[in-house]
Amino acid sequence: MSEPAIGGRTPLPVEVEAGKDYWWCTCGKSAKQPFCDGSHAGSSFAPMQYTAPETKKAFFCTCKRTANAPLCDGAHSKLPA
């Protein structure tokens, strides 16, 4: 798999609902970050399913370098400028 594009440089907070599915963009090309908009079509990327464990504000990774996908782990702070 090739390296994903950088979809953003800060996490995006989203109010998620317990038990609801969300489809996180893994390719970095979606215009609807942090979620998939189909822009990965024709690539080796596919969206990642996230089922919210509880109703809360979740901080989704947009840089696509997190080791805790789909949530932010602070990896964006180590991106080259």
Binding site for ligand FES (CB under 6 A): 25-27, 29-30, 36-40, 45, 47
Shortest distance in whole angstroms from residue 47 CB to ligand FES: 4
**Which residues make Cβ contacts (< 8 Å) with residue 64, sequence separation at least 6?**
4, 5, 6, 7, 25, 26, 27, 28
> 38 or 74: whose CB is closer to ligand FES?
38
DSSP 26: S
- Minimum gap (Å) between residue 64 Cβ and ligand FES: 9
In the complex, minimum distance from the CB of residue 16 to ligand FES, in angstroms, rounded to a whole number = 18
**Number of residues in the chain:** 81
Closer CB to ligand FES, 37 or 73, in the complex: 37
C-alpha–C-alpha distance, residues 62 and 76, integer Å? 8
Q: Indicate the residue among 27 and 72 with the shorter CB distance to ligand FES.
A: 27
Name the token pair of 1. 């798999």
